[in-house]
Structure 1
Amino acid sequence: MITNFKLTPATLDDIPRIQEIAYKTWATAYKNVISSEQITYMLEMMYNTQTLSKLIQQPDFLFYLINDGAGIAALELHYENTISKLHKIYILPEHQGKGLGKKTIQSLTNISQNAGDKSIILNVNKKNAATHFYEKCGFIRWRSEVIDIGGDYVMDDYVYRKDFSALR
């Protein structure tokens, strides 16, 4: 288990590390979920330097390095009124199973609550084994959605939700 835990706000200087973590985690997390072509397409679309630069500079989009680069997380406050959206949480394979993901979810929940939001939502591919992790962390399956992301690809996701009223 993790004894020392730290979320560090990412800066523009962290972009190469964010990209490295994304590429390493996606290679294992999605290899049996979506095609290698779609993995490449999505990584190039979501983790290019220009996209990451814009996100890191948005005041309500919080990008973090977890434990100095063991993973990354991105939370958007006030995504829809009083709902935060967890866009990314990726832990490098060698750091998985040690409680980092759970600690990250707890910390992001606190950040969202302190900002005045009342719940967090996230999307997860229907075939992704991480659905069980989110359910263990108190998220409930809220709805399904299919999102056209271009390039003849879609994201076929469940949307999970965690309401903070249940935490009081």
Structure 2
Amino acid sequence: MIIRKAVTEDISSIQNIAYETWHDTYDGMIPRNVQNKFLGRAYSDENMPGRIARTSLFVAVDKEQIIGFANFFYKNPQEAELGALYVLPAAQGKKAGTKLLEAGIQEKPSLREIYVEVERENVTGTAFYEARGFKLLEEYEEELYGHKLQTRRMKLALPE
């Protein structure tokens, strides 16, 4: 498995992974029309080139197929927001998620804190982050296109 920075040619694969993983994870928690509205905006053809240019977007490639991606937004040299980390359901359990997380950490050696937000009902996602040392900071309610979410904000403190 190779982890590398995303390029514009990866956009359609990233979009497909976002849709497949969201539907697999959130069906039954978030109505499909709300998911599709969010995904259509966040991963639009118009937005994706800018994400690749202005953020750190990594892809995991296994047997020449992109199987996952992670998107880091560095607030400053010591803090990052992990805006997305998605691995195709069929490819989970192969350490792609861990390797994508590590790529974001390694890109900024000065990094000391990574923040992520996870829907409370996303037990698999929460367990993934907890297993890698993320700690719960807070829970709060927010709205996504009229649907109420219970969001957990978590933080990974990295050693100096």
* TM-score > 0.5 by shorter chain: yes
Q: 1:124 aligns with which of 118, 122, 128?
A: 118
Map 1:60-71; keep pairs closer than 5 Å: 61-67=55-61, 68-71=65-68
Pair 1:90 & 2:71 matched: no
Assess if the C-alpha contact under 8 Å between 1:76 and 1:87 holds in 2: yes
Query: CA–CA distance in 2 between the matches of 1:143 and 1:29?
Result: 22
Match of 2:73 in 1: 76
Pair 1:152 & 2:149 matched: no
Q: Indicate the percent of aligned positions where both proteins have the same amino acid.
A: 22
- Per-residue deviation, 1:37: 1.6
Q: Secondary structure at the match of 1:73?
A: strand
- Per-residue deviation, 1:76: 1.3
Letter in 2 for 1:144: E
Q: 1:108 aligns with which of 104, 110, 113?
A: 104
Pair 1:45 & 2:41 matched: yes
Greater mean deviation of Cα atoms: 16-25 or 154-163: 154-163
Change (3 A) 1:81 1:142: farther
Query: CA–CA distance in 1 between the matches of 2:76 and 2:121?
Result: 26
Q: Which structure 1 residue ranges, 5 or more long, are not aligned?
A: none
- Per-residue deviation, 1:109: 2.4
Assess if the C-alpha contact under 8 Å between 2:142 and 2:150 holds in 1: yes
Letter in 2 for 1:70: I
Q: Which structure 2 residue ranges, 5 or more long, are not aligned?
A: none
Task: Normalising by structure 2, report the TM-score.
Answer: 0.88
- Per-residue deviation, 1:57: 1.3
- Per-residue deviation, 1:81: 6.4
Match of 1:6 in 2: 2
- Per-residue deviation, 1:132: 1.0
- Per-residue deviation, 1:40: 1.0
Assess if the C-alpha contact under 8 Å between 1:105 and 1:137 holds in 2: no
- Per-residue deviation, 1:56: 1.1
Change (3 A) 1:100 1:81: closer
- Per-residue deviation, 1:80: 5.4
Task: Normalising by structure 1, report the TM-score.
Answer: 0.84
Pair 1:141 & 2:136 matched: yes
Change (3 A) 1:51 1:155: farther
Match of 1:36 in 2: 32
